[in-house]
Amino acid sequence: MAVTGPLTLEEREQAARDAVGHLRPKNRSECVSGPRPCPFMGCRYHLALDVGPEKRGVRTVVVPKGLMTDPAGVLSSMADTCALDVADRGPQTLDAVGQVLGVTRERIRQIEAKLVEKLARKRGMLDALEDVEGRQRHGEDHTW
């Protein structure tokens, strides 16, 4: 098919999305040997953007200073740009994780404590659910 004239804005945007989509790794095996610093900031494992929890249907995104004006400079100044690269190195100290994320050791300790608490609560809920399901399987009918 021959091009009959200049591309519209929509056509140019679609062509750019298609080009990036073909370059972006689809899985870890394609990503592990990819360029570093990683240029794919839309990846869920990229460390350049900090995505906060969803509140009222909106997620907050913290963009590092200078990322919009000099993305290459910001990315090249980061020691790590991929959380999976960090995970591949195995267990890390609180200090090392804090350096990767740009926060203090104490903040990492607080985050870790909160996650452990959440996991314990979820485990407790799963145990209670298994207990209820076990009673139902054995014919015990309890009303709550």
CA distances, 65 to each of 49, 62, 69, 77, 115 (Å): 11, 9, 9, 12, 28
The model's pLDDT over 3-23, given as tens digits with 9 standing for 90+, comes to 566 778 787 767 766 665 567
112 inside domain: yes
The reply to whether 77 and 116 lie within a common domain is no
12 inside domain: no
The reply to whether 99 and 144 lie within a common domain is yes
Q: What values do phi and psi take at 112, rounded to 5?
A: -60, -45
Distance CA 134, CA 113 (A): 31
The reply to whether 110 and 79 lie within a common domain is no
3-state helix, strand, coil in the chain (%, to 5): 50, 10, 40
Give the contacts of 85 (CB within 8 A, at least 6 positions apart). 32, 36
The model's pLDDT over 44-60, given as tens digits with 9 standing for 90+, comes to 888 887 767 777 777 67
Output the pTM of the full model: 0.57
